[in-house]
C-alpha cells in the first residue's frame, strides 16, 4: 500500500485534514482504530470559533452547520446573583456557533466517503517510521504496512503518534476539580451560554439544539458519578444559577452524564522528521475556553496548506515552520483557557484573599469594555493566518 499522506486518527482533525488535502489533489489514507458507529456517536461538545466555521463552509462541508448550528453573539457571566452580558459580536465583529463535534464528524465521514476517500475504520496502528515514512496497522485480522511521504498524528492524547517523537518537551497542569456534564431532553433555559461563578462551584449552561440542553457542574476530580441522582444534579444547578430576579432553570430527563477531568498539556515540537502532530495528540486545554476542537482545526488547516505547498512547488518552507506556527496559537489558547478556568472555578485550596481577588477580577471583566473585549476576542478566536 502507498499514499502521499498517512493520517492516524479518524476524529475531526484527521477527517478534516484528509478532506482539505483532497480538495488540493493530495491523496491520503485515514486509519481509525474504532468502528464507524463509535466514531459517529462519540459525545463531544462543540463551540465553534468564527475561523472554524469559515474553514468548514469554505471547504464545502458547512451546509448542515448553517441549517442547524446555533449562532451566538454574546455570552453571560453570572455571579453575585446577577448576570453580565459580554456582547462578543459588538466588541469584535465575530461570533461563535454551537454545533456538536459529533455532527461535524458525521458530516466529514459522509463527505470523504462520497468523494471516494480511503477511510479505514477498525484499523489499529501498531508501529510507524517517521524517517522512511510508513505506518503498520492491523485490520480484519491482517497486518499491513502503508508507505507514504508524510504521517499526520491526529490520534488524540492517548494515541501512538506522540510516543513516536523523541526528545519531546512537555508542559502540564492538573486542576483540583472536574466537570460533571449532562445532556437533557429539555429546551435550553437561555439563548446564550451562561458561565456561572458561585460559592458552591462553577456551572455552565450550554445548548445542543433547540430541544436539548448541555449543562456542567464543577465537582471533585474523584467524584463518584453514581452519587449524583437526577434530582441532586438539578438542585445543584439551580442553586449555582440562581439570580436575585428569580431566573428559572428548566428541567427535563437526563439522557447522558459523565465526569471530565481538567488539565492543560502541551508537547513540543509538533514535528519529528516526516511525522506531524495535530490536535489532542499535541495539546489539551481545559474545556472552559472551548478551544480544543478549534485548535485541532487550526492545526490541520496550517498543515494542509504546508503539504499543499510542498506538492505544488517542492518547497518545504511551510512544513519547516509548522510547529512554530501552531504553537503560537496553542499557547495563546492555553493561556486563555487557564485564565477562564481560574476566573470562574472555586479552588478548594484558595485563601480568603485569593477569593476576593477572583471576585474583583470578575467585576472588572463585567464593567470594563477593555477587559470584556479581551475576553470576547479570545473566545470568538483569533483569525486563522
Can you spell out the DSSP letters for 222-260?
T--GGG--HHHHHHHHHHHH--TT--------EEEEEEE
Among 205, 283, 291, 345, the one annotated catalytic: 291
Provide the pLDDT for residue 42: 81
Contacts of 315 (CB under 8 A, 6+ apart): 309
Contact 102, 112 (CB under 8 A): no
Q: Is residue 187 annotated as part of the catalytic site, yes or no?
A: no
Q: Is residue 72 annotated as part of the catalytic site, yes or no?
A: yes
Provide the pLDDT for residue 385: 65
Provide the pLDDT for residue 384: 77
What separation in angstroms does the CA of 166 have from each of 161, 169, 172, 192, 272? 11, 9, 18, 44, 8
Among 99, 150, 195, 322, the one annotated catalytic: 195
Structural domain boundaries in the chain? 5-48+100-171+264-343
SS3 of 266, please?
strand
Among 19, 22, 72, 197, the one annotated catalytic: 72
CA nearest to 366, candidates 118, 149, 79, 152: 79
CA nearest to 2, candidates 24, 23, 28: 28
Contacts of 58 (CB under 8 A, 6+ apart): none
pLDDT tens figures, 131-173:
999 999 999 999 999 999 999 999 999 999 999 999 999 999 9
Q: Is residue 369 annotated as part of the catalytic site, yes or no?
A: no
CA 82 – CA 75 distance, rounded (Å): 13
Among 12, 188, 286, 287, the one annotated catalytic: 287
pLDDT tens figures, 282-317:
999 999 999 999 999 999 999 999 999 999 999 999
Instruction: Write out the CATH class of domain 5-48+100-171+264-343.
Output: alpha beta
What separation in angstroms does the CA of 357 have from each of 73, 314, 342, 343, 362? 28, 54, 11, 10, 9
Regions of the chain where pLDDT drops below 70: 45, 385
How many other CB atoms sit within 10 Å of the CB of residue 314?
7
Q: Is residue 106 annotated as part of the catalytic site, yes or no?
A: no
Q: Is residue 99 annotated as part of the catalytic site, yes or no?
A: no
Provide the pLDDT for residue 209: 85
CA 105 – CA 16 distance, rounded (Å): 9
Look over the chain and give the mean of its residue pLDDT values, rounded to a whole number: 96
Helix 322-344 to helix 292-313 angle (10° resolution) is 170
Amino acid at each position: 500500500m502507498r499514499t502521499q499522506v498517512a493520517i492516524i486518527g479518524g476524529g475531526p482533525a484527521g477527517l478534516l485534514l484528509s478532506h482539505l488535502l483532497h480538495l488540493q489533489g493530495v491523496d491520503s489514507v485515514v486509519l481509525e482504530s474504532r468502528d464507524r458507529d463509535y466514531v459517529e456517536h462519540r459525545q463531544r461538545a462543540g463551540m465553534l470559533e468564527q475561523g472554524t466555521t469559515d474553514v468548514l463552509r469554505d471547504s464545502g462541508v458547512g451546509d448542515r452547520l448553517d441549517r442547524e448550528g446555533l449562532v451566538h453573539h454574546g455570552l453571560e457571566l453570572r455571579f453575585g446573583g446577577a448576570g453580565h452580558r459580554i456582547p462578543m459580536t459588538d466588541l469584535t465583529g465575530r461570533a461563535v456557533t454551537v454545533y456538536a463535534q459529533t455532527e461535524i464528524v458525521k458530516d466529514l465521514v459522509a463527505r470523504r466517503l462520497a468523494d471516494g476517500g480511503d477511510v479505514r475504520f477498525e484499523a489499529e496502528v501498531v508501529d510507524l517510521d517517521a524517517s522512511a515514512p510508513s505506518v503498520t496497522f492491523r485490520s480484519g485480522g491482517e497486518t499491513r504496512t502503508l508507505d507514504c511521504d508524510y504521517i499526520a498524528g491526529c490520534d488524540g492524547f492517548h494515541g501512538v503518534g506522540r510516543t513516536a517523537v523523541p526528545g519531546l518537551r512537555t508542559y502540564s497542569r492538573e486542576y483540583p476539580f472536574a466537570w460533571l456534564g449532562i445532556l437533557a431532553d429539555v429546551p435550553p433555559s437561555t439563548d446564550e451560554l451562561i458561565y456561572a461563578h458561585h460559592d458552591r462551584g462553577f456551572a455552565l449552561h450550554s445548548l445542543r439544539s433547540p430541544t436539548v440542553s448541555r449543562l456542567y457542574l464543577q465537582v471533585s476530580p474523584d467524584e463518584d458519578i453514581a452519587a449524583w441522582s437526577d434530582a441532586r444534579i438539578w438542585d445543584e444547578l439551580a442553586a449555582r444559577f440562581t439570580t436575585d430576579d428569580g431566573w428559572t432553570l428548566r428541567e427535563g430527563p437526563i439522557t447522558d452524564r459523565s465526569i471530565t477531568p481538567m488539565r492543560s498539556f502541551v508537547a513540543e515540537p509538533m514535528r519529528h522528521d516526516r511525522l506531524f502532530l495535530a490536535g489532542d495528540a499535541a495539546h489539551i486545554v481545559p474545556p472552559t475556553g472551548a478551544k480544543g476542537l478549534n485548535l485541532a482545526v487550526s492545526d490541520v488547516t496550517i498543515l494542509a496548506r504546508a503539504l499543499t505547498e510542498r506538492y505544488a512547488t517542492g518547497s518545504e518552507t511551510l512544513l519547516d515552520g509548522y510547529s512554530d506556527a501552531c504553537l503560537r496559537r496553542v499557547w495563546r489558547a492555553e493561556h486563555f483557557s487557564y485564565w477562564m478556568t481560574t476566573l470562574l472555578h472555586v479552588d478548594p485550596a484558595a485563601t480568603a484573599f485569593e477569593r476576593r481577588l477572583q471576585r474583583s477580577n470578575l467585576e472588572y471583566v463585567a464593567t470594563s469594555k477593555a477587559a470584556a473585549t479581551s475576553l470576547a476576542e479570545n473566545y470568538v478566536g483569533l483569525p486563522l493566518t
